Amino acid sequence: MTEKGTPVVTEMQVIPVAGRDSMLMTLSGAHGPFFTRNLVILKDSAGHTGIGEIHGGDYTCEALTSCIPLVVGKPIGMYRKILDSIHKASRRAKEDDGEGIQSLDISKLKFVVKAEWAIECALLDLLGQYLDLPMCELLGDGKQRDRVETLGYLFYVSDKGKAEQLEYLDERESSDPWYRMRRQEMLTPERIVEQAQVLHEKYGFRNFKLKGGVLAGAEEMEAVKALKQAFPKGRINIDPNGAWSLEEAISLCRPMEGVLTYVEDPCGPEAGYSSREVMAEFKNAVKLPVATNMIATDWRQFYHAAALKSVDIVLADPHFWGFGGSVRMAQTLNDWGLTWGSHSNNHFDITLTAFAHVAAAAPGAPTALDTHWIWQDGQNLLKDTPQIVDGYLQVPEKPGLGVTIDMERVLEANRLYKKLSTHDRDDAMAMQYLIPGWKFDSKKPCLVR
């Protein structure tokens, strides 16, 4: 007798994991030596395994664990209803003031990232396997492309030797030029250009984004000009995470109208005005497209950003918007003549794969995707990690996510997680070794004190 309906979820595991990071510099400080993520692993009655990856930390881990009764026992074909039941059962945390990350307060990122999107990913993985279709075929209008353009995500990197107690990974003996470089100090325009050149050789990147908010804006623009000189046909962008005042952002960016392709979150809230209002004024003054992952992180914020014409490019990270939501945003932007892309945070290769599928389903001409993966490359949790070749991320062709989890590596990453004294991101901690008494200030680049 043939069973009717789709397979049923029989098991849900939530496994927190940790990996190694470089001393990357951002407005919020310096990345510590470890980053954390949470994995969701689902099994169904057809014998398939579905996987998802999301933001790290105990808050997100506990949120995922609380969802288990709402997922186990449910047919995978009802994944939308499963997600709806999670949304209806959820409540806003007391600490969540609704401000989001328009001032880049990293402690609030856990409220912008929604834990259930890791469950959505794992369910779509299972459904794709059941239907014998790649996950991207289940999103939006289906698969639009076989490979996804990515950019080289450039960072200023500080000297980890100033914080020897923090156990940053040392790769100076690696035979790979990029692995050797990514743990070294890189704080000058020359070193940023060298970073881009090594990344071009390894991954084929032609387009680059520099994470700003580290040095004085004028110094960072010198690095941008040096990059454009080294890659004259490349698209060069900068993201200071709203560190500049409106006046400073205008004075810095006007002369760069023929150099920058776009600028991401050049300014933030000030003088009683929200980031959306301030960035609308920036756009009126500077003839550069503006991108964001800070001021349009949900549909209500996007409504106000769109009404004010504050942005041209929405970096709709599926960990903020969900997989279906991110592609729905891509469809909306395409219909309106705007541009879709995706923000990135430190992540393992499960997220890298998920990004490939979401971007493969995005219509139109998305901007090149962010990915931190190059800074984590080699710390695989998959047996068949998609590759970045000639600047493009390959989209798996097998059903579902199209990849195979390596449980031995997952359990190793889980053991590392359990050894850590804290599981939440704290960029101020590492900064204390560079500047004693350092405190986050959304209007002061991290090394300008």
**Same domain assignment for residues 111 and 20:** yes
**Same domain assignment for residues 145 and 126:** no
Instruction: Say which residue the tokens 């454009």 belong to.
Output: 228
Query: Is residue 424 a part of any domain in this protein?
Result: no
85: its two tokens: 């039941």
Helix axes 116-131, 58-66, angle to 10 degrees: 50
For the four alpha carbons of 294, 295, 301 and 302, in that order, the dihedral sign comes to negative
**Same domain assignment for residues 415 and 281:** no
CA 165 to chain centroid: 28
114: its two tokens: 């929604």
In CATH, what number is assigned to the domain containing residue 59?
3.30.390.10
**Same domain assignment for residues 35 and 147:** no
Nearest Cα residue to 344 out of 319, 323, 314: 319
Query: Is residue 434 a part of any domain in this protein?
Result: no
pLDDT tens track of the chain, all 449 residues? 345 789 999 999 999 999 999 999 999 999 999 999 999 999 999 999 999 999 999 989 998 999 999 999 999 999 999 999 988 887 776 666 666 655 655 555 555 557 889 999 999 999 999 999 999 999 999 999 999 999 999 999 999 999 999 999 999 999 999 999 999 999 999 999 999 999 999 999 999 999 999 999 999 999 999 999 999 999 999 999 999 999 999 999 999 999 999 999 999 999 999 999 999 999 999 999 999 999 998 999 999 999 999 999 999 999 989 999 999 999 999 999 999 999 998 999 999 999 999 999 999 999 999 999 999 999 999 999 999 999 999 999 999 999 999 999 999 999 999 999 999 999 999 999 999 999 999 999 999 99
| Whole-number pLDDT of residue 2 | 47
Query: Is residue 1 a part of any domain in this protein?
Result: no
Quote the CA–CA distance of 60 and 389 in Å, as a whole number. Answer: 33
CA 207 to chain centroid: 17
**Same domain assignment for residues 92 and 143:** no
Query: Is residue 443 a part of any domain in this protein?
Result: no
**Same domain assignment for residues 94 and 146:** no
Quote the CA–CA distance of 187 and 154 in Å, as a whole number. Answer: 11
Residue 353 phi, psi (nearest 5):
-65, -45
**Same domain assignment for residues 186 and 323:** yes
**Same domain assignment for residues 87 and 215:** no
| Whole-number pLDDT of residue 105 | 57
Query: Is residue 436 a part of any domain in this protein?
Result: no
**Same domain assignment for residues 117 and 165:** no
**Same domain assignment for residues 68 and 205:** no
In CATH, what number is assigned to the domain containing residue 340?
3.20.20.120
**Same domain assignment for residues 121 and 233:** no
* Entry pTM: 0.94
Bridge pairing between strands 49-55 and 34-44: antiparallel
- Within 10 Å of residue 404's Cβ, how many Cβ atoms? 13
| Whole-number pLDDT of residue 1 | 37
Query: Is residue 437 a part of any domain in this protein?
Result: no
Query: Is residue 15 a part of any domain in this protein?
Result: yes
The answer to whether residues 266 and 73 touch, using CB atoms and an 8 Å cutoff, is no
Bridge pairing between strands 29-30 and 339-341: unpaired
Quote the CA–CA distance of 217 and 73 in Å, as a whole number. Answer: 54
Quote the CA–CA distance of 38 and 61 in Å, as a whole number. Answer: 6
**Same domain assignment for residues 130 and 216:** no
Query: Is residue 189 a part of any domain in this protein?
Result: yes
Give the N- to C-terminal CA distance of the chain in Å, as an integer: 73
Tell me how many domains the chain contains: 2
Q: Which residues are catalytic?
A: 211, 343
Give me the domain span that covers residue 60: 9-134+408-419
Nearest Cα residue to 346 out of 101, 37, 60: 37
